[in-house]
Amino acid sequence: MTSQLTLAEQLKKAHESLSPAERRVSRVLIADYPVAGLEPVHRLADRANVSAPTVLRLIAKLGIGSYPDMQKLLRGEISARTSSPLDMYGERSASAASKAETSSSVKFVADSERVLSAALDATFKAIPETEIREIAKLLASPRNRIWTVGGRFSDLLAQYLNMHLRLMRKGVNHVPPTEHEMTFALLDFNSRDLLIAFDYRRYQDSTVNFLKNAKQKKATTVLFTDPWLSPAAKHADYLLSASVAAPSPFDSLASAFALVETVIAGVVEELGAEPTQRIEAFDALQRRTLHISGHDPDEDV
């Protein structure tokens, strides 16, 4: 198998081409990823309420040689999923030392271009277009009250999406990633709420539990995560993954930001000219605020 996509990404990408029975297997695999795929084939088949041959047909359709091959792939993913910055720092240092022996010039700029370009390409190849279109529609619907939440680093993504959405529509809220704020937010969740959550490798229990509780309150949930899938995936109605490959020992959010930008573009397309008056009103209020405060906007030009 030559694909660099994880099994979860392959399943999401192939969704439209799967039979109803194969989709049941896919849903079970993603809902309890990667544990479900490490079970014996008959147990996975029982969980999906299909026959074992149906499971094997799905594996073959993905281009994976056999069920043991799929499990070998998943075990490799588990190793990658649990890698820490310290592990990757050692790998990076060894790689840098090796390159230093063959070249006297610094290569980190070229390395960054190569690694980040490949990560971006892998992310867009794995995007399920129907899923991202549905997410854009949900975000554009005035019926939905929107909430964004992230983790220690991914809160940057949540805030970035939140700031753009607030310019385009009403009813957009950001939840700071603290137990106190998350608890308050959940108080009034109902079926009209749409939660957009971000959780990446070294997953945060607080984010996973927040999605779980939001689902119990009948909210619709969207999860942005990495190719190995946060445990929060089992509580997500919609799922988008982005590569975190980086030229440094620390996971990159560059591809995740690109995915957020894509969702924003989809919302703009759904709303059309609708947000124009809101943006104009915001600009007018901002100019008025600057004038009242005695600040001359021309000073920033």
Q: Domains in the chain, start-ordered, CATH in brackets? A: 7-81 (1.10.10.10), 129-279 (3.40.50.10490)
pTM of the model as a whole:
0.78
CB distance 12 to 126 below 8 Å: yes
Q: Are strands 172-174 and 145-149 parallel, antiparallel or unpaired?
A: parallel
Q: Please give the radius of gyration of the chain, using alpha carbons only, rounded to the nearest integer.
A: 22
Residue 298: predicted pLDDT? 55
Compute the distance between CA of residue 133 and CA of residue 113 in angstroms, rounded to an integer.
29
Low-confidence residues of the chain: pLDDT under 70: 1-3, 82-106, 291-301
Burial (CB < 10 A; 0-12, 13-18, 19+), residue 12, is: buried
Residue 3: predicted pLDDT? 47
Residue 102: predicted pLDDT? 45
Compute the distance between CA of residue 3 and CA of residue 69 in angstroms, rounded to an integer.
13
Compute the distance between CA of residue 206 and CA of residue 21 in angstroms, rounded to an integer.
34
Residue 283: predicted pLDDT? 87
Burial (CB < 10 A; 0-12, 13-18, 19+), residue 92, is: middle
Residue 135: predicted pLDDT? 97
